[in-house]
Amino acid sequence: MIRRAINNLLLRGKYIVNMANNLICAESKKSRPFTVIVEGNIGCGKTTFLNYFKKHKNICVLSEPIDLWRDCKGHNLLGHMYSDPKKWSFTFQSYVQLTMLNHHVLPTPCPVKLMERSIYSARYCFVEKMKRDELLSKPSAAVIDEWFQWLTKNTPINVDLIVYLRSSPEVVYRRMMERNRSEEKSVPFEYLESLHQLHEEWLYYKTLHHCPARVLTLDANLDLESIEEEYGKFEPHIWNLGILNSN
């Protein structure tokens, strides 16, 4: 009888512990926003996508921190990287990793966080490209990767959904030339072609690296009017997911 009572107490104890763990997990999920990262090649329309969702007060929209890359205590790291990638790739990608991490962990009261690119694309596409082109030495690439592995295991950079704005290299090259950013004038078509292939392998075919969340692929070759219609179709999807996450 005493043994039965002890067993009952142990079973109740396990039940209470399991319930507590479930509540902690649920509360942890509620306390962070539903996080969407918007990925794609240079010139695929990420800024247009983010601007479309800025009308919602309950969505925290975080653009790629290009201004920080252009002015790190007075140094234009983006410009340096494009003008002499062999010399500046490690410095630039180290800073990209830091600034993207800041976006991942940035607290917000909004139920949805929408980020332009991420710490994942920085590593899986851009650092990968630099490694293949030998713009990053093996020791430099190893240091960036060690930091990346540590950050993904020890910091709260959870991602719930990836939006892949899929566009052809020809389209993004034309758009890049039209927007005429000074740092991008020297970017060759072949560079965009290689980046496109890396995004395809990572997000579309899923044959390269780890995919941290499910992927929604949108046709980003459409013109501005048509692409905004596509964003409109996607809008209830992201909004409803964010609301469900906050309840």
Give the tens place of pLDDT for each residue, 98-145.
999 999 999 999 999 999 999 999 999 999 999 999 999 999 999 999
pLDDT of amino acid 4:
52
Q: What's 109's DSSP letter?
A: S
pLDDT of amino acid 135:
95
pLDDT of amino acid 245:
55
Q: Walk across the sheet containing 161-166 and list its strands.
A: 59-62, 112-116, 34-39, 161-166, 214-219
pLDDT level of residue 14 (50, 70, 90 thresholds): very low
Architecture of domain 32-246: 3-Layer(aba) Sandwich (3.40)
Is residue 116 among the annotated active site residues?
yes
Per domain, the residue ranges of the chain are: 1-31, 32-246
pLDDT of amino acid 242:
55
Cα(42)–Cα(57) distance, integer angstroms: 27
pLDDT of amino acid 180:
74
169, β-bridge pairs:
none
Better-scored residue on pLDDT, 144 or 182: 144
pLDDT level of residue 26 (50, 70, 90 thresholds): very low
pLDDT tens per residue across span 190-233 = 999 999 999 999 999 999 999 999 999 999 998 877 777 777 77
The yes-or-no verdict on residue 71 having pLDDT over 80 is yes
The yes-or-no verdict on residue 59 having pLDDT over 60 is yes
The yes-or-no verdict on residue 2 having pLDDT over 50 is no
pLDDT of amino acid 63:
96
pLDDT of amino acid 22:
41
Determine what percent of the chain is predicted with pLDDT higher than 70.
83
From the list 116, 128, 225, 230, the catalytic residue is: 116
The yes-or-no verdict on residue 235 having pLDDT over 90 is no
Cα(120)–Cα(9) distance, integer angstroms: 46
108 three-state secondary structure: coil
How far is residue 170 from each of residues 174, 180, 190, 198, measured CA to CA in Å? Answer: 6, 16, 10, 16
The enclosing H or E element of 11 equals: helix 2-31
Q: What is the pTM of this model?
A: 0.82
pLDDT of amino acid 109:
93
The token duo for 201 is 């392998």
pLDDT level of residue 247 (50, 70, 90 thresholds): low
Cα(23)–Cα(26) distance, integer angstroms: 5
42 three-state secondary structure: coil
* Residue 61 backbone phi and psi in degrees, to 5: -105, 125
The enclosing H or E element of 164 equals: strand 161-166
The token duo for 134 is 């030998």
What would the mean pLDDT of 49-56 be, rounded to a whole number? Answer: 88
Cα(50)–Cα(38) distance, integer angstroms: 8
Determine what percent of the chain is predicted with pLDDT higher than 90.
64
| Mean confidence (pLDDT) of the chain | 84
Closest CA to 36 of 206, 214, 220: 214
